[in-house]
């Protein structure tokens, strides 16, 4: 036996002084930075793509929900003059004169109707007031004569009594800022009143709060229906032997894969007054008069439940599939009755699936547009339909954008809850 | 560096950290000569696989240099290193047939078609599996996959082959058989092998030299015999083979002999890493070096009581109580004249002082 | 799951009504999809079964609505547009999405969760919001009422599906395979095309099919971003339903259902193939 010195073994941890540690960390950071940038480089093209084609449009929309330069651009001098105005009494003669001049020049350039329309949404009657005044003031020489004699105010009150009120002035002042919350206030049934304070809209103009509540209620109802219909079905799919559950699974996946418009068409065909369901019910003698089941809230709820049901069944199924049957067997062997074992053992384990499915269904249903638009009639309209209405028909884009902003905020809130609860990585499709 | 000439692979002051705080490899140095079979042995998380991955190029050394054949390779991409490697889970490409798997490295190296065919055929003959060429990895048994992985690592004739626990997934019998096959291949082809395992038997049977790792530090680098017979510290003693530990204090110390007191008894021992009297120490004695009713020249003899006897076929594993220590193991060979002892017997046990090594006091990992 | 022999009568009733309920739900799911098919062969311009159809009288069935569809240049043109737009947007979404998924599945990817959340968001944000925003933004870029605009918009809507399916495939991916490839001498590009790509191809293809299906079924963005020239099949159906519903729509719908069935079968085959590949590895 020979005894050799052990040269390469280092038995004691080499002491690291602070400098060495710093150097080490720096070298590590360099190596890491390179690896990270390699990973990041692969993602950058897509991030740029999503940024330009998706995020920028949404930012643009949000910008429009607070940006309102129309009044400030059209009536710049009036807006500047009204800055000092205290809203307590009628503005002085000079301000009347400035407004009169600007109205006349807008009238000459045929630019009046846009700004009048915008002001009208703030104070109804403003459109007619402005066009009437502008028309009269543009008569030959009227304006110069009135300014020279310092009697613009009297003349305008002569044209329309409302000029003796502070309300139209308050409307102009309220909209004079380029950046405004007025669209968001309108979307929540509020407005700036004559004193520039936030107050509720008059009763007959309040529609959006009810709309928001209705959208929530319909979504909650659909989510609940999907859960009631989907839970037992998911359970059956998860507990049947593979060979049989595969066939049933196809019956869930086929509707999931079928075009949304096709499914909506089906419901129109089924539910309409001359449709299949009415025919069957009459044939069976269950009803004597044909039921009106479409173009109302009923139609929206049925069709949307059908469309969203797979989004509830699939997450429930994937959670249930991973629950070993031995838990229920153990509970039974310990003396629990089936109902007790289900409530205390099975149900709690499926809560993540319920959470995932319910949030997903709810998120998708509060933003739903196509189905309510096609089968909703008047009563089945939701917030998305009003966004589309203001985008396409009323052309009140600011309000559409503000409604969109509110909807987006709600969805993103739910999305972050979903992310916290389920984890975005666990999102599955198909 | 002039010493580079006779070392084929060299790790020089290599350190590795993932988080900047904890070093998973601390100041690692290793020279491997051409044609050597070196094993890195250690518990999981001891840094041995990290060293292998750094050599293969899948991890970068935070500090230090690695040389292959005198060339520093720190900044060389893995695919340019020309190192064969057998992965823990084999990493056979599941979408390619066995023949395609084997020809993969040859195609990359742009060999001619006929060369490829010939080499693949030779490789399959070498592992005695010529019939599997057209099959997919999933259709082979674990042992067959292992051989194919080995063949793939060798088919492009690299000078250096790395093996990362290649036999971990096999059952015991197959593992032993493969150990011999790998050993024979190594001898026949004259390649340099760096092998990683946590299985000490595997390391002892196959290697020329073994580096024992613990917590990122090489505890001892030596031949299998030396590791077993002369462990440098209590971790190595404990990790390689079975070992009885007795904690005590050095009373007297000479050149090749020291006296250690354990629970009031004086034990004659060989000083390994104790240097002065009064020092705490751990005595390490192999169970097979202890005798019951010892021969006359045994310079350590103590009274003990038999607590338990377990029959192991070739030997009787006997647990005795000695110096207030009730986990003391003695292996009694089942020779032609077996000992007649029973549970509860009072006996005398003894050992030679040169088989009793006084090591550092830290107990290491049990 | 079946009923054990010791079940009480109450449990029996419960078990059978549970089964019945589930089959009711399945009926609710599948019936509206299937009912369209026979109705599309109606010889009369009605949306209900005629006496003749119920008696399986062959004269009550006809292909007239299919003929109507094929002979109507609007439908033919819409189909052409749909195929162009869906193919181009799928190609774009699949390429970019697969690259990103490869980056996202590396363990040193920074801000992984935030990036993932952003890339998935087109699936979560109500499409009306995206469509309204795109209307403003694409108009200012001059992309409104162009094929490019619709293709870009559809690609971004399809991206979440590609990212999700490809990252899911990559989670099961054995990274020692790429290491083995590098070790055997293959460079990164060779490794990608010969090792990584063949193994993740099922995931990439199913992501692509999802993206294709998304584009082929999309109407809201088309309503806002496209012009009359880029009318797609869903857009044509939309006006058909809104203005005057003709049974031609049922013929189109039937074709779309057949397409979904084909997609579903392809996906199932891919899933099995993927499972088999993974099974092979064990």
Cα end-to-end distance, chain B, whole Å? 40
Counting as contact any 3 or more CB pairs under 8 A, the partners of B are: A, C
The CA distance from B290 to B352, in Å, is 8
CATH class of A208-426: mainly alpha
- Tell me which residue in A257, A274, A363 faces C260 most closely, judged by beta carbons: A257
CB C192 within 8 A of CB C181: no
Q: Are strands B280-285 and B244-253 parallel, antiparallel or unpaired?
A: antiparallel
Res. C151: pLDDT tops 50: yes
Which pLDDT score, from 0 to 100, does residue C268 have?
83
Which pLDDT score, from 0 to 100, does residue C227 have?
86
Q: Which residue of A has its CA nearest to C34?
A: A266
B93/C177 Cβ within 8 A: yes
The CA distance from B14 to B27, in Å, is 5
- Sign (positive or negative) of CA dihedral B120, B122, B126, B129: positive
Q: Check CB contact of C63 with chain A, cutoff 8 Å.
A: no
- 3-class DSSP state for residue A191? strand
CA B282 to chain centre: 23
Res. B229: pLDDT tops 80: yes
The H or E element spanning position A420 is helix A397-421
The 3-class SS string of chain B reads CHHHHHCCEEEEEEEEECCCCCEEEEEEEEEECCCCEEEEECCCCCCHHHHHHHHHCCCCCCEEEEEECCEECCCCCHHHCCEEEECCCCCCCCCCCHHHHHHHHHHHCCCCHHHHHHHHHHHHHHCCCHHHCCCCHHHCCHHHHHHHHHHHHHCCCCCEEEEECCCCCCCHHHHHHHHHHHHHHHHHHCCEEEEEECCHHHHHHHCCEEEEEECCEEEEEECHHHHHHCCCCHHHHHHCCCCEEEEEEEEEECCCCEEEEECCEEEEEEECCCCCCCCEEEEEECHHHCEECCCCCCCEEEEEEEEEEEECCCEEEEEEEECCEEEEEEEEECCCCCCCCCCCCEEEEEECHHHEEEECCCCCCC
Res. C279: pLDDT tops 70: no
Which pLDDT score, from 0 to 100, does residue A88 have?
86
Q: Show residues of chain C in contact with B95, CB under 8 Å.
A: 198-199, 277
The H or E element spanning position C64 is helix C64-71
CB B85 within 8 A of CB C180: yes
The CA distance from A213 to A221, in Å, is 12
Mean of the pLDDT values across residues B43-49? Answer: 86
C99/A46 Cβ within 8 A: yes
Instruction: Indicate where chain A has its CATH 1.10.3720.10 domain(s).
Output: 208-426
Which pLDDT score, from 0 to 100, does residue C1 have?
53
- ipTM rounded to 2 decimals: 0.89
**Using the 8-state DSSP alphabet, how is residue C146 labeled?**
S
Which pLDDT score, from 0 to 100, does residue A76 have?
92
Res. A14: pLDDT tops 70: no
Instruction: Please give the CATH topology (third level) of the domain spanning B244-359.
Output: OB fold (Dihydrolipoamide Acetyltransferase, E2P) (2.40.50)
In angstroms, the Cα distances linking B300 to B293, B332, B351 are 11, 17, 5
CB A172 within 8 A of CB A79: yes
Scan residues 150-189 of B and list those with Cβ closer than 8 Å to C.
152, 156
Q: Rounded mean pLDDT of chain C?
A: 89
CB A166 within 8 A of CB A172: no
The CA distance from A211 to A383, in Å, is 6
Looking at the DSSP assignment, which residues form a beta bridge with residue B192? B160
The CA distance from A184 to C130, in Å, is 19
pLDDT band at A357, cuts 50/70/90? very high
Task: Summarize pLDDT for C202-248 with one digit per residue, the tens.
Answer: 889 989 999 999 999 999 999 999 988 889 999 999 998 888 778 89
CB A54 within 8 A of CB C120: no
pLDDT band at C89, cuts 50/70/90? very high
Domain parsing of chain C, residue ranges: 9-60, 72-245
Kindly report the number of other CB atoms within 10 A of residue B138's CB atom: 16
Task: At A40, list the tokens.
Answer: 């990041």
Tell which residue, B263, B265, B282, has the closest CA to residue B273. B282
Q: Rounded mean pLDDT of chain B?
A: 87
Q: Show residues of chain A in contact with B17, CB under 8 Å.
A: 24, 28
Res. A329: pLDDT tops 70: yes
Q: Show residues of chain B in contact with C282, CB under 8 Å.
A: 138
Res. C50: pLDDT tops 60: yes
Work out the angle between the directed axes of helices C197-216 and C147-171 (0-180°, nearest 10). 140
Largest CA distance in chain C: 73
pLDDT band at C2, cuts 50/70/90? low
Mean of the pLDDT values across residues A183-207? Answer: 85
Which pLDDT score, from 0 to 100, does residue A17 have?
63
- Domain at C72-245, CATH from 3.30.300.160, 1.10.1270.20, 1.10.287.130, 1.10.3720.10: 1.10.3720.10
Q: Check CB contact of A1 with chain C, cutoff 8 Å.
A: no
The CA distance from C65 to A326, in Å, is 55
Which pLDDT score, from 0 to 100, does residue C277 have?
64
CB A237 within 8 A of CB A252: yes
B331 φ/ψ angles, rounded to the nearest 5 degrees:
-95, 115
Phi/psi class of residue A423: alpha, beta or left (left: φ > 0; alpha: ψ in -120 to 50)?
left
Question: Higher-confidence residue: B191 or A426?
Answer: B191
Task: At A154, list the tokens.
Answer: 């009297």
Q: Which residue of C has its CA nearest to B161?
A: C183
C36/A265 Cβ within 8 A: yes
Q: Check CB contact of A415 with chain C, cutoff 8 Å.
A: yes
CATH class of B2-234: alpha beta
C264/A261 Cβ within 8 A: no
Tell which residue, B325, B150, B181, B304, has the closest CA to residue B247. B325
- 3-class DSSP state for residue A130? helix
Looking at the DSSP assignment, which residues form a beta bridge with residue A340? none
Picking from A2, A5, A6 by the largest number of B CB atoms within 10 A of its own CB, the best residue to mutate is A6
Mean of the pLDDT values across residues B308-330? Answer: 86
CB C202 within 8 A of CB C273: yes
CA distance C190 to chain B (A): 8
Q: Are strands B346-351 and B160-164 parallel, antiparallel or unpaired?
A: unpaired
Task: At A226, list the tokens.
Answer: 């999907």
Kindly report the number of other CB atoms within 10 A of residue C221's CB atom: 26
Res. A234: pLDDT tops 90: yes
Domain parsing of chain B, residue ranges: 2-234, 244-359
- Tell me which residue in B81, B91, B139 faces C180 most closely, judged by beta carbons: B91
**Using the 8-state DSSP alphabet, how is residue A123 labeled?**
S
Q: Rounded mean pLDDT of chain A?
A: 87
CB B194 within 8 A of CB B41: no
Res. A226: pLDDT tops 90: yes
The CA distance from B235 to A324, in Å, is 43
Picking from A269, A273, A356, A400 by the largest number of C CB atoms within 10 A of its own CB, the best residue to mutate is A269
Q: Check CB contact of C121 with chain A, cutoff 8 Å.
A: yes
- High-pLDDT (> 90) share of chain B, %: 26
CB B86 within 8 A of CB B162: yes
Res. C282: pLDDT tops 50: no
Kindly report the number of other CB atoms within 10 A of residue C20's CB atom: 10
pLDDT band at B366, cuts 50/70/90? very low
Res. B3: pLDDT tops 50: no
Res. A8: pLDDT tops 50: no
Task: Summarize pLDDT for A126-150 with one digit per residue, the tens.
Answer: 999 999 999 888 887 788 888 888 8
Q: Which residue of B has its CA nearest to A34?
A: B60
pLDDT band at A220, cuts 50/70/90? very high
- Tell me which residue in A240, A369, A429 faces C220 most closely, judged by beta carbons: A369
Which pLDDT score, from 0 to 100, does residue B207 have?
92
Res. B61: pLDDT tops 50: yes
CB A299 within 8 A of CB C241: no
Which pLDDT score, from 0 to 100, does residue B265 have?
84
- Tell me which residue in C18, C117, C129 faces A404 most closely, judged by beta carbons: C129
Res. A24: pLDDT tops 80: no
pLDDT band at A370, cuts 50/70/90? very high
Task: Summarize pLDDT for B195-220 with one digit per residue, the tens.
Answer: 999 888 899 989 999 999 888 888 89
């Amino acid at each position: 036996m020979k005894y050799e010195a052990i040269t390469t073994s280092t038995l004691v941890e080499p002491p690291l002084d602070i400098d060495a540690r710093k150097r080490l960390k720096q070298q590590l950071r360099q190596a890491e930075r390179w690896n990270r940038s390699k990973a990041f480089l692969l993602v950058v093209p897509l991030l740029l793509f999503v940024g330009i084609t998706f995020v920028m449009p949404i930012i643009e929309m949000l910008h429009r929900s607070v940006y309102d330069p129309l009044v400030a651009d059209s009536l710049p001098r009036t807006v500047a003059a009204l800055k000092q105005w205290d809203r307590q009494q009628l503005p002085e003669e000079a301000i009347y004169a400035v407004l009169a001049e600007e109205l006349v020049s807008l009238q000459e350039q045929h630019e009046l109707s846009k700004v009048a329309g915008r002001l009208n949404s703030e104070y109804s009657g403003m459109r007619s007031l402005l066009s009437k005044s502008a028309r009269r003031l543009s008569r030959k020489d009227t304006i110069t004569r009135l300014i020279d004699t310092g009697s613009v105010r009297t003349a305008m009150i002569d044209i329309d009594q409302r000029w003796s009120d502070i309300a139209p002035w308050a409307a102009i002042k309220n909209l004079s800022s380029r950046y405004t919350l007025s669209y968001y206030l309108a979307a929540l049934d509020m407005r700036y009143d004559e004193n520039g304070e936030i107050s509720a809209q008059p009763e007959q103009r309040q529609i959006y709060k009810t709309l928001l509540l209705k959208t929530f209620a319909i979504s909650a109802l659909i989510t609940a229906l999907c859960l009631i219909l989907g839970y037992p079905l998911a359970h059956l799919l998860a507990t049947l032997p593979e060979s049989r559950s595969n066939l049933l699974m196809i019956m869930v996946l086929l509707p999931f894969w079928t075009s949304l418009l096709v499914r909506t068409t089906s419901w129109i065909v089924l539910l309409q007054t001359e449709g299949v369901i009415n025919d069957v019910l009459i044939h069976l003698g269950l009803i004597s008069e044909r039921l009106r089941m479409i173009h109302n809230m009923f139609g929206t709820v049925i069709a949307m439940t059908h469309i969203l049901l797979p989004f509830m069944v699939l997450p429930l199924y994937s959670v249930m599939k991973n629950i070993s049957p031995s838990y229920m067997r153990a509970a039974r062997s310990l003396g629990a009755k089936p109902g007790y074992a289900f409530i205390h053992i099975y149900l709690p384990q499926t809560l993540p699936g319920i959470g995932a499915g319910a949030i997903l269904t709810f998120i998708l249903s509060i933003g739903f547009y196509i189905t309510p638009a096609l089968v909703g009639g008047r009563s089945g309209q939701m917030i998305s339909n009003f966004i589309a209405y203001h985008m396409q028909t009323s052309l009140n884009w600011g309000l559409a954008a503000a409604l969109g902003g509110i909807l987006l905020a709600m969805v993103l809130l739910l999305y972050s809850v979903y992310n916290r609860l389920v984890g975005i990585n666990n999102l599955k499709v198909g | 560096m002039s010493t580079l000439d006779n070392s084929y692979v060299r790790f020089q002051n290599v350190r590795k950290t993932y988080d900047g705080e904890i070093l998973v490899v601390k100041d690692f140095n290793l020279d491997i000569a051409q044609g050597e079979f070196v094993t890195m042995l250690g518990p999981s998380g001891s840094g041995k696989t990290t060293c292998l991955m750094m050599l293969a190029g899948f991890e970068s050394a935070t500090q230090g240099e690695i040389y292959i054949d005198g060339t520093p390779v720190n900044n060389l991409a893995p695919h340019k290193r020309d190192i064969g490697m057998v992965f823990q889970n084999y990493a056979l490409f599941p979408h390619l047939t066995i023949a395609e798997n084997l020809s993969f490295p040859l195609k990359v190296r742009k060999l001619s078609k006929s060369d490829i065919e010939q080499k693949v055929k030779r490789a399959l003959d070498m592992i005695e599996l010529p019939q599997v060429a057209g099959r997919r990895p999933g259709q082979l048994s674990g042992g067959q996959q292992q051989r194919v992985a080995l063949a793939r690592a060798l088919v492009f004739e690299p000078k250096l082959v790395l093996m990362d626990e290649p036999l971990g997934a096999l059952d015991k019998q197959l593992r032993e058989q493969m150990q011999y096959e790998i050993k024979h291949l190594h001898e026949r082809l004259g390649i340099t092998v760096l092998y990683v395992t946590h299985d000490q038997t595997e390391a002892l049977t196959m290697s020329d030299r073994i580096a024992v790792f613990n917590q990122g530090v090489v505890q001892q680098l030596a031949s299998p015999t030396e590791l077993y017979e002369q462990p440098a510290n209590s971790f190595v003693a404990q990790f390689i083979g079975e070992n009885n530990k007795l904690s005590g204090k050095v009373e007297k110390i000479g050149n090749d002999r020291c006296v250690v007191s354990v629970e009031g008894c004086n034990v004659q021992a060989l000083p390994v890493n104790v240097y002065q009297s009064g020092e705490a120490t751990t005595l390490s004695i192999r169970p097979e070096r202890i005798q019951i009713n010892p021969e006359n020249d045994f310079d350590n003899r103590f009274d003990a009581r038999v607590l338990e006897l377990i029959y192991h076929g070739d030997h009787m594993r006997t647990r005795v109580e000695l110096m207030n220590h009730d986990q003391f193991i003695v292996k009694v060979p089942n020779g032609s004249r077996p000992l007649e002892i029973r549970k509860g017997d009072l006996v005398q046990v003894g050992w030679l002082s040169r088989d009793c090594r006084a090591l550092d006091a830290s107990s290491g990992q049990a | 799951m079946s009923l054990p022999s010791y079940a009480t009568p109450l449990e029996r009733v419960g078990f059978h009504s549970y089964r019945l309920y589930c089959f009711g739900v399945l009926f609710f799911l599948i019936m509206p999809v299937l009912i369209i098919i026979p109705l599309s062969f109606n010889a009369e311009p009605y949306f209900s079964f005629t006496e003749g159809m119920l008696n399986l009288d062959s004269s009550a069935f006809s292909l007239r609505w299919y003929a109507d569809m094929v002979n109507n240049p609007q439908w033919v043109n819409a189909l052409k547009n749909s195929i162009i737009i869906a193919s181009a947007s799928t190609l774009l979404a699949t390429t970019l999405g697969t690259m990103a998924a490869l980056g996202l599945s590396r363990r040193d990817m920074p801000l992984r969760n935030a990036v993932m959340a952003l890339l998935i968001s087109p699936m979560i944000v109500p499409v009306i919001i995206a469509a309204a925003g795109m209307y403003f933004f694409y108009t200012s870029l001059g992309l409104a009422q162009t094929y490019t605009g619709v293709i870009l918009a559809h690609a971004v809507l399809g991206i979440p599906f590609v990212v999700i399916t490809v990252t899911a495939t990559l989670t099961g991916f054995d990274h020692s395979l790429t290491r083995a490839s590098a070790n055997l001498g293959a460079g990164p590009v060779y490794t990608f095309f010969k090792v990584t790509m063949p193994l993740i191809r099922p995931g990439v293809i199913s992501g692509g099919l999802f993206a294709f299906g998304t584009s082929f079924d999309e109407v809201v963005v088309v309503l806002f971003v496209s012009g009359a020239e880029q009318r797609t099949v869903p857009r044509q159906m939309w006006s058909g339903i809104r203005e005057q519903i003709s049974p031609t729509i049922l013929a189109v719908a039937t074709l779309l259902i057949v397409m979904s069935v084909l997609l579903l079968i392809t996906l199932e085959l891919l899933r099995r193939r993927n499972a088999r590949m993974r099974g092979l590895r064990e």
